[in-house]
Amino acid sequence: MYQELLQPHLISRALPKGFESTVHWKFREAEKHDSPHTFIAELKNARVWGRNGAVITSDNCLLTDVSREFGEKPPWEHSIFERLQLPEPYFLDGTAVVLSAAGGEGYFHWLLEVLPRLHLLSLADISFDSIDAFIVNSQETSYQQETLARLGVPADKIVTSDRFPHLKAERLLVPSLPGITGNPPSWVCEFLRDRFLPEERLSPTRRIYIQRPQEVDRRRVVNEPQTLELLSRFGFEPVKFELLSVAEQARIVASSEAIIGPHGAGLSNLVFGTPKTKVIEVFNPSYVNVCFWAISDRIGADYYYLLSDDPKPKEDENPCLPKANIRMPLDRLEKALEQLFSRSRV
């Protein structure tokens, strides 16, 4: 069985509003891109391998379009081909569905790439009751447990790739990945908003600064005390999303008129924002990732960005240093705040 669901289409975005002299080339490069079609495939005696949920057919073919890994490399360089032999698979009777995706242990990829595959089941009129096993990356975090329960996935039917790295299913349902990683299409945002936003209409009045978790060892804001002091003068309050439920995070973002933060998973919650919400994302110049601009564009937010006070690579260089810390550009940030916001309303 193979069922096409949503047709491919071209996504066109408005370039972000920066406070730099020119728009960073990463944004210009992603101004337009193709969003692929979506589908559901049914396979007999297929296997699922590894933490990213690679799918292997009964005749030992890797389905590369649903077996994504990070990095730009050809299909024949998939990590599965580095192994001489795979361990014996754990067999799943009945019907299983693979939801695991590259990076699905993390909040962004879980929210924007794992969970939307459940929506494709609904579009194909496949009842969750007919499924015996839901294969996900893991379910150790509270947000994984909360979101699966909210979407109606029974806890006793969850099978995790981290515990069972090699699985074989009598009947395997394979929803396509939602799109190109880091580029969620509109239907993904609409699905998440429909399922996780509170029913009552909220008035967007808060101004929030999304802090990076204390325990993280990458993209730390090295001058955060000074940053918080500056932001407080414009009515911003710090929030630590890692301490809150997904429902609480969604409510806070939906209640916010302005959101500022360093590049990080907490900005995934922009998907719950309201149109015209002002967003300022701050990057280390050595790692500019456009995924949160992509979300902001889909929901109609007013997106801006700043580059931190850290060494800048040459225009034609892409060092891609995702762990690089961030020194907030306080002078330029203050000018941006004065341009966009009034001083504290307290």
Alpha helix (H) ranges present in 151-223?
A: 186-196
User: What tokens were used for 239?
Assistant: 């929030």
Task: Quote the CA–CA distance of 170 and 48 in Å, as a whole number.
Answer: 12
Which pLDDT band, with edges at 50, 70 and 90, does 28 fall under? very high
Residue 110 DSSP symbol = I
CATH code that applies to domain 206-340: 3.40.50
pLDDT at 315: 74
Task: Quote the CA–CA distance of 154 and 20 in Å, as a whole number.
Answer: 49
pLDDT at 38: 96
Calculate mean pLDDT across residues 35-47.
Answer: 96
Mean pLDDT of the chain: 94
Is the pLDDT score of 346 beyond 60?
no
Of residues 114, 49, 40, the one with CA closest to residue 86: 49
Task: Quote the CA–CA distance of 184 and 203 in Å, as a whole number.
Answer: 26
Contact 253, 259 (CB under 8 A): yes
Is the pLDDT score of 329 beyond 60?
yes
pLDDT over 70 percentage in the chain: 99
pTM of the model: 0.94
Is the pLDDT score of 273 beyond 90?
yes
List, for residues 73-98, the tens digit of each pLDDT value: 888 999 999 887 899 999 999 999 99
Calculate mean pLDDT across residues 269-282.
Answer: 97
Calculate mean pLDDT across residues 226-253.
Answer: 97
pLDDT over 90 percentage in the chain: 82
Contact 209, 228 (CB under 8 A): yes
Sheet holding 278-283, edge to edge: 17-18, 302-307, 278-283, 256-262, 206-210, 237-239
List, for residues 128-159, the tens digit of each pLDDT value: 999 999 999 999 999 999 999 999 999 999 99
Task: Quote the CA–CA distance of 178 and 184 in Å, as a whole number.
Answer: 7
Which pLDDT band, with edges at 50, 70 and 90, does 345 fall under? low
Calculate mean pLDDT across residues 211-228.
Answer: 91
Calculate mean pLDDT across residues 211-230.
Answer: 92
Domain boundaries, the chain: 39-178, 206-340
Instruction: Give the end-to-end CA distance of the chain in Å, rounded to a whole number.
Output: 60
Task: Quote the CA–CA distance of 236 and 214 in Å, as a whole number.
Answer: 19
